[in-house]
Structure 1
C-alpha cells in the first residue's frame, strides 16, 4: 500500500509540474488559415499543455499591427514578403522563418450552374459581382489579380470586383450571394464546393502563395511560442495542413 501511495504522489507531483510550466502563445494568423489553425491549436494544446490566443486577419493588417507593437509571439502570414519585412525591421528572431504551407487559389460559386468553363465565364462577364480579397493587403487577393491579369481580364473586370479586407470576407461575399463567384482559398471550400461550381486555378497563373511563419522578438524567450513553431514542422501538423487543402512548405530558412 505504501508503494502505491508513493507512486501516486510522484505522478501527481509530475503532472502538477507539467501544468506549472505550461505557457501561452499569442499568435497572429492569416485569415485563410483559420479553420486549419483551429484544428492545429486544439491538437497543440492537448499535446503540450500550452494554451493559444489567436488573432486572425489579412496578412497586411497583421503586419501593420506587429509594427505598431501588437503583443504577438509568432506570425503566420499568407505570404513570405511580410515575414521577411518583420525580420528586416528587427521585430523577428533571425533564422526562425520558414514556409509552413503553400496555398491554392480557386474560383468558387455556391451555384453549381454558375460555370462549366471558368475562363469563358470570366470573359463573358455574365455576373454582377466577382469577389476577391484586397490585393494590397491579402496575398490571395494578389494572386487573384495576377490570375486575371494573366487572362487579360483585369482591366475589363476591375469595376465589377468587390474586395474583401481579408480572404475570409471575400469568401463571405460569395457565400451570402453578394457576389456571384469569387477567388478564395481552396481550404475555405473544403466543405462547401461539392454542391457548387469550382475551379482550382493553375499554379502557373500567379506567383506561389508561400505562407511563412516567424518567431517574433516578443516570443524569443517564450517556451510555448517555440513549441508552437516546432509543432508546425511536425509530421502530425503537416498531415493536418494537407488535409485542409495546402501543400507543405520547405525546411526552416
Structure 2
C-alpha cells in the first residue's frame, strides 16, 4: 500500500514538472515570435521612416524608373511606388483623385490639362526629358520597311490610341502631315499604351509600329526602321510635377530633385532619353 502511495505521489510530481517545463517552452516560443514580429515591424518602420509616395509615370519610363527606384529609396530611406500607364490614363486618375503624388507625362498637353484644373502644385512643373518617335519593325519580318513604304509593306501597323497615348498622338500627327493617315486606316492596330505597341511588333503580331526611341532600344526583337522627323509632329517633351493632393510634398520634391542629379540622368540617358539640362 505504501509503495502504491509513493508511486502516485511520484507520478503526480512528474506531471506537475512536465507541465511547468511545457509552459516555460511555450512562453519562450511566444517571446521569440513576438521578438521576430517586433523586429520585422521595426525594419518596415525603418524602411518607410522617410515616407511613401506614388509616382504616375508614362509607360515608356518603366525600365528607367525601375532602376532608379531602389537607389532613391536607399538614399531617402523611403518607399517609392509607381503606376505606369498612358499619360492620358494617368491624367484621368489624377482628375479622379487616384492617389498619385508625382506625375511624369510623355505629353505636355496631358500635364497642361491637369494643371489648368488647378490639380498641380504651383511652379513644380518642369521639362524633365525629351524623346524621339521612331518607326520600328519586327526583326524576323522579311520585308523592307521605311516611312515611305510601311503602309504598303505591312499587314498590321501598331499605334497607341491617339486620344490617350501621346506616342499615338504624335504618330497620328506625323502621318496626317505626311498624308499617310487615311491610307493606313485598315491596317492600324490601336494599343492602350506605347509598351503594348512595342509588344505587338516584338511578338510579330504586327510587322511595324510607332514607339519612342527609348522603347526600341530595350527590345532585341525589334529594330528601328527610321526615325520620324521632328518637324512633322509636336516636340516630344516629358514634363514632371507634384500633384496638389499629395500628403508628402517634401518627399515628392526630393524625388523630382533627384531626377535632376547626374546619377539619375545617367540612367535615363542609358535608356535612350534626352535629359534636359
TM-score, normalisation: structure 1: 0.85
Measured in 1, the distance between the counterparts of 2:222 and 2:168 equals 24
Contact 2:134 2:224 in 1 (8 A): no
Deviation at 1:60, TM superposition (A): 0.5
Answer 1 or 2: higher relative contact order, Cα 8 Å, separation at least 6.
1
Equivalent residue runs for 1:63-74 within 5 Å = 63-74=91-102
Residue of structure 1 in register with 2:52 after alignment: 24
Equivalent residue runs for 1:18-97 within 5 Å = 21-97=49-125
Measured in 2, the distance between the counterparts of 1:39 and 1:85 equals 29
Deviation at 1:19, TM superposition (A): 5.3
Please identify, of 110-119 and 138-147, the stretch whose mean Cα deviation from structure 2 is larger.
Answer: 110-119
Measured in 1, the distance between the counterparts of 2:185 and 2:111 equals 29
Deviation at 1:113, TM superposition (A): 5.6
The answer to whether 1:149 aligns with 2:165 is: no
Rg comparison, structure with higher value = 2
Say which SS state the counterpart of residue 149 (structure 2) adopts.
helix
Contact 1:131 1:173 in 2 (8 A): yes
The answer to whether 1:217 aligns with 2:240 is: no
Residue of structure 2 in register with 1:180 after alignment: 207
Q: Structure 2 stretches of 5 or more lacking a match?
A: 1-43
Q: Please identify runs of 4+ aligned residues in structure 1 that moved more than 4 A.
A: 16-20, 112-117
Q: Structure 1 stretches of 5 or more lacking a match?
A: 1-15
Call closer, same or farther: CA 1:219–1:171 in 2, change over 3 Å. same
Deviation at 1:109, TM superposition (A): 1.3
Deviation at 1:119, TM superposition (A): 2.4
Q: How many residues align?
A: 235
Call closer, same or farther: CA 1:104–1:242 in 2, change over 3 Å. same
